[in-house]
A and B are shown apart, each in its own frame.
Chain A
Amino acid sequence: MPETTNIIIAGVGGQGVLLISSVLARAALLAGHDVKTNEVHGMAQRGGSVVAEVRYGTKVFSPLVEPETANLIASLEEIEALRYAHYLAPDGLAVVSQTQLVPTTVSSGGAHYPPDSRERLKRVFPNLRSLDLVQAAKEVGNPKAGNMVLLGVISTLLAIPPDRWEEAIETSVNSKFLDLNRRAFALGREKGRE
């Protein structure tokens, strides 16, 4: 493992990117690491691209992940993963939901959504896990739980013990949705181990 683990989580405003980064940061803290995250708030959240960065290790200075250093890129949407491809470290991993959200720049006719997005993902991410998170979230009973399924998958790729993840979820998630989020996370772990 490198001294600092660098993770990028991408998606679209409203998909729950920030919850992933917040649980991930807490799990890293509980596992005894120094941790920093960076988030985007405000204007960009209105249906725009959203990215969060998490860095943990012995001592972390900058909250920003530099290009070509991300050990893991996780994305809730296909082209949002492509957008950050140049942040991937040479041996980095990628976990991407097979979700395609069409931006208004496309629906208003000015741009087009690449029809070969999945092929492109395979080309730019040598270590790619492509997952149908929308279907997975339906399995746990809520189409909006895809973010926690993704977190479950991520958790199997990082050296943070399982009980730390459970504690991190308990302390970060609204108690009303705790059961749902736990189930989504567990399903993600199953998928991660497949």
Chain B
Amino acid sequence: MPLKREILSGNEAIARGAWEAGATFASGYPGTPSTEILENAVKYPELYCEWAPNEKVAFEAAAGASLGGSRSFATMKHVGLNVAADPLMTFSYIGAVGGFVAVVADDPGMHSSQNEQDTRQYARFAKIPILEPSDAQEAKDFMKFAFMISEKYNTPVILRSTTRVSHARSLVTLAEREEHPRAGFHKDPPRYVPIPAWGRKMRVKIEERLHSMRSRSEATDLNRIEEGTDELGIVTCGIAYQYVKEVFPTASILKLGWTYPFPDSLIHRFAGKVKRLLVVEELDDFVEEHIRSLGIPCDGRNLIPGIGEISPERLRQVRARLEGGEFDLATPVQESIDLPARPPVLCPGCPHRGVFTALHHFDVVVTGDIGCYSLGVLPPLDRLDTIICMGGGISMAHGLAKSGEKKNVVGMVGDSTFFHSGITGLLNVAVNQSKVVILVLDNRTTAMTGHQDHPGTGRTLKGENTVAVSIEAMSKSAGIDQVFTVNPYNLEELAKTFTAAFAASGPSVIVTRAPCPLAQKKTLGPVNVINQEKCVKCLACLRVGCPAVEATGGKPHINPTLCAGCGICRQTCRVGAISG
């Protein structure tokens, strides 16, 4: 049978690779650029897939499946691995039984993230192998290889993708699935329980494991030398390899697919062949630092700063510099330098808009969270003051209030992030009694990443109905008496509820609930129109920051093709000029 070829994104290829490898269990939490891995994996009926409330749970669930002998994996974005770092560090001690892969997608350049992190540091930290594919074909092949070495060396493996690997599409040759029936759980406490006496033995084994993996990584196709000129040798990995191939077509290349543990002999052999050595890698100088520690001089960070993404263009500049010339980065043409920016905005009809608009009338501090409502920080909404991480808004509000802040403090969280890591912060608010208002912006989905289900939606990743966990009931059971549920499209109701909550003596929870209209794919009401005769041009309607409300020459009007009919702008009009 001829081999079938498909155009797949890196994320689709990772899902395919897991399926071909015979994986039977997968869990994850959505996060750009990793989300589509599980969304594609769930299409394979032999592979059980679920969304977990957060990455720690996903990691632990997949680790449990591995100890039962199933090939399993967990997916997350780079900051998700911070949440899963606790099980990562000790699962390394216990080791995998059925192949276990943590698929982690980094976001150099912060396209959709709050920071840049190089996940390779975690591999060294946890003393486990990491693989770095450069395109979709490798993403699929490396996923299969990851399961294989995970079982051979009884180790969890990290597969590191990046935005340009996950979201770029390229040709992939497909293969059939190989079944790996689960072996079943075999009781063996000294192997699975790291109480100190046994943990110390595991600790020694980890070093032995690293040593034997190193000799294997020297001799694998994943790490290979591509012969070229001996004038310049380039060590590279991940997407940077593709850029090197474009910009340095004649250079010798050491392509690292299995980066850690480092293949020292191979690096020595390669360095010995070339007159000048350059390391091209995205984010941290992970490989470069190690090469220097081997006593081998090389170029790298001195020519390519470790901030943001590498691009072929940036490498052309490096090449020019190495050759003693100049290369000017292309700059936008004169006609495009004054163009208005088009940042992401809350969609027309977004229920969060009502919350931010109503908050305009209160002089409070708002500690925010990761999600669509992060966009509430931008003008004209401008009603959010801090962001650290998921669930962080609740805990920070508590600390800010407890430490003596005079203004009322609002801790903001979404529905998906409430379940992700808001609950523990809420317990702290309840038990240690801070006078804060916790605002749960519940749009019945994980919206920013493309509408994934979560514990509150009553549906699983497989599309089956399940229990829907109640945010109100959880808050009440934590001992919070003041729990309100409001319609975020009703500005008056919102204002009244905020006033009541700020007047309360203890903590309160306000759940603003309306489904994301983008997920529902329907309009909320008739299109709104501004009566230009009644309009007094106060421009209050523009403060809602809706893409449908435009102004030309100081006259506001509503774009009928964009208006979702939510009526929030109508409620801000003092002269009743807006009707729908």
Contact = CB atoms under 8 A, between A and B. Distances in A.
A41 B31 CA distance: 11
B312 A34 contact: no
A64 B244 CA distance: 12
A120 B170 contact: no
B168 interface: yes
A87 B329 CA distance: 11
A112 B340 contact: yes
Contact of A42 (B111, B245, B311, B343): B111
Contacts of A13: 344
Given A46-B347, A83-B336, A41 B168 contact: no
Contacts of A110: 379
B342 A49 contact: yes
A51 to B, nearest CB: 11
B171 A61 contact: no
Contacts of A143: 561
A60 B135 CA distance: 11
Contacts of B164: 38, 63-64
Interface in A61-107: 61-64, 66-68, 79-80, 82-83, 85-87, 102-107
A106 B340 contact: yes
B542 interface: yes
Contact of B547 (A25, A40, A47, A120): A47
B311 A64 contact: yes
A35 B170 contact: yes
Contacts of A12: 342
Interface residues of A, number: 54
Q: Among A37, A47, A68, A80, which residue has the most Cβ atoms of chain B within 10 A? A: A47
B372 A86 contact: no
Contact of A43 (B242, B329, B448): B448
A34 B137 CA distance: 13
A48 interface: yes
Contacts of A60: 170
B323 interface: no
A2 interface: no
Contacts of A68: 330
Contact of B340 (A25, A61, A103, A123): A103
A106 B203 CA distance: 59
B551 interface: yes
A19 interface: no
Given A39-B169, A41-B33, A123-B335, A48 B342 contact: yes
A45 B342 CA distance: 11
B307 interface: no
Contact of B330 (A22, A64, A86, A124): A86
Contacts of A83: 332, 336, 339
B380 A108 contact: yes
Given A35-B170, A41-B112, A46 B246 contact: no
A38 B167 contact: yes
A65 to B, nearest CB: 9
Nearest to B378: A104
B340 A35 contact: no
B551 A107 contact: yes
B171 A43 contact: no
A85 B336 contact: yes
Contacts of A113: 340
Given A108-B379, A111-B340, A120-B335, A42 B32 contact: yes
B520 interface: no
Contacts of B171: 29, 34-35
A186 B168 CA distance: 28
A189 interface: no
B80 to A, nearest CB: 14
B542 A25 contact: no
B344 A44 contact: yes
Contact of A47 (B345, B449, B543): B345
Contact of B32 (A41, A87, A105): A41
Nearest to A37: B169
Nearest to B249: A61
Interface string B170-191: 1100000000000000000000
Contacts of B545: 104, 108
B339 A102 contact: no
Contact of B246 (A39, A41, A61): A61
B331 interface: yes
A70 to B, nearest CB: 11
Interface string B322-352: 0000000111110110111111111100000
A103 B562 CA distance: 12
Most A-side CB within 10 Å, residue of B169, B345, B546: B169
Contacts of A26: 7
A61 B335 contact: no
Nearest to B552: A102
B243 interface: yes
Contacts of B341: 103, 105, 111
A85 B335 contact: yes
B7 A104 contact: no
A36 interface: yes
B339, B342, B543 pick with most chain A CB within 10 angstroms:
B342
B319 to A, nearest CB: 13
Contacts of B242: 61-63
Interface in A137-193: 143
B335 A82 contact: yes
A74 B445 CA distance: 34
Contacts of A62: 242-243, 245-246, 312
A37 B169 CA distance: 5
B451 to A, nearest CB: 12
4 tightest CB-CB pairs across the interface, nearest first? A42-B32, A67-B330, A42-B112, A111-B340
Interface of B: 5, 7, 9, 32-33, 35-36, 111-112, 135, 164, 167-171, 242-243, 245-246, 311-313, 316, 329-333, 335-336, 338-347, 372, 375, 379-380, 448-450, 539, 542-543, 545-547, 549-551, 559, 561
Interface of A: 12-13, 22, 25-26, 29, 34-49, 60-64, 66-68, 79-80, 82-83, 85-87, 102-114, 120, 123-124, 143
29 contacts: A36-B135, A38-B164, A38-B168, A39-B168, A41-B33, A42-B450, A43-B32, A43-B112, A44-B111, A44-B112, A46-B344, A46-B346, A48-B342, A48-B345, A64-B243, A64-B312, A67-B329, A68-B330, A82-B336, A85-B332, A87-B330, A103-B340, A103-B341, A103-B547, A107-B550, A108-B543, A109-B539, A111-B341, A114-B339
